[in-house]
Structure 1
Amino acid sequence: MSKRDKPPSSELTSAAEALEAQLRRFESLSDQFRRSPLNSEKSLERASKLLRDVAEQDGVLNASVSALVAAVARTRDRQQQEADSVNAHALHLQERAELFKSLLERYGALGQSAAELNQRMQEFAVQRAQAQGEEHNAALHQALEGLQERMGQVAEEARAVVEQAETQDFADVGRQAESLRQQILSARNKLGLLRKGIGTP
């Protein structure tokens, strides 16, 4: 990777690299001071200068340590902010999951009601096929009215599920519930047309 392609260093990395560089210089100066001869005026002056350099570098090194500690603290703060954000979103996820579970339970109950309607419609079809005479027509009218009434109730249940899904922003469940509602209303309208084929009780 070229220098141009190399990503910029983070604050923590830069502080650590700076500290490492200052530590190496401190170690080098310290080693030179310890090894310096002390057997002439010139060597004593040189050793004294090295000692001042070591002391000065020690101050620089302490500043680098402080900078790294500050960078670590800021990194820890960033990490905590991210953790807090993740935890908050995790709670939001849990809330959404609970809402979705409740919505699916209502949609499941709606599906069960639709299945029961389908069974009643099949029974009504058999009853209609076997009906003969005014007495049977009266029973058919009664069954038809009860079936239409129940269809209206289930359609209203579907409408409530659609509204809940839209309010809670679960559009896919809302579309499915609306499709089921339209099917029920269509079937209910078709049942209304059957009255023309049944004698007045």
Structure 2
Amino acid sequence: MSKREKQEPTQLGMAAEGVEEELRRFEALADTVLRTPLDSEKNLERASKALREVAESDERLVAQLQKLVAAVGGIRDRQQEHARGVNARAEELQARTQAFQGLLQRYAGLGKSASELNAVVQDIAARKQKATSSEDNRALAASLEQLLERMGQVAEEAQGLATSATEQDFGDIARQADSLRQQLLSARNKMSLLQKGLAAS
């Protein structure tokens, strides 16, 4: 708890206590005025003095009430200041959440593409084992050409996502996208070597 947080309630409490104390004094003086019999010079002087004291107490009571209002106003201003900060933070949170979800959707799309590429790689590997002729090898080489092109495209998409995530300070997604890019490029290099081997056969 900060010094300001400790001080403000004390000011409010002191102001409220001042109002209560002066109000009790005002009530006591007013009671004196109301109860003093007006039947002698002494009592008339006593009542007159009490009236003056009531007027003075009333002025002090107004001053104490002003202090209380000021203390309450200070608390209200403090609350509004924090409320503005919270509202601004809520808007920032909403914007950041939307940005994160957008990046996450792009990453999910990349994951789907990578899964599809993996299925193609598995299919090509199975076909290679069964290949027995140059015609089979040419068909495999054509499939590999398409696979390599698509791998390059998905790797570029992963690079773009990593860049976007870095620019928006979402390091986790940036690292995941870059890791996927590296895996794709590694797999692409292996497929490229396989293609060259088929071309040489």
- Normalising by the smaller structure, the TM-score range is 0.7 to 0.9
1:31-83 deviations in Å (ceiling 9; x for gaps): 12222343433333222221111110000111112222233333322222222
Paired position in structure 2 for 1:103:
103
% same residue: 54
Cα RMSD after superposing both structures: 1.8
Matched residue type, 2:96: R
Following superposition of structure 1 onto structure 2, how do residues 30-179 of structure 1 map, counting pairs within 5 Å?
30-179=30-179
Shifted more, 138-147 versus 33-42: the winner is 33-42
Paired position in structure 2 for 1:4:
none
Shifted more, 152-161 versus 63-72: the winner is 63-72
Alpha-carbon contact 2:138-2:198 (below 8 Å) kept: no
**How far is the alpha carbon of 1:188 from its aligned partner?**
1.1
Alpha-carbon contact 1:106-1:161 (below 8 Å) kept: yes
**How far is the alpha carbon of 1:199 from its aligned partner?**
4.9
Matched residue type, 2:188: R
**How far is the alpha carbon of 1:193 from its aligned partner?**
2.6
Tell me the number of residue pairs that the alignment of Structure 1 and Structure 2 aligns: 195
Measure the CA separation in 1 of the matches of 2:192 and 2:164: 29
Length-normalised TM-score, structure 2: 0.88
**How far is the alpha carbon of 1:135 from its aligned partner?**
1.2
Other structure's SS at 2:200 match: coil
Paired position in structure 2 for 1:184:
184
Paired position in structure 2 for 1:200:
200
Measure the CA separation in 2 of the matches of 1:174 and 1:137: 38
Alpha-carbon contact 2:165-2:173 (below 8 Å) kept: yes
Unaligned runs of 5+ in 1: 1-6
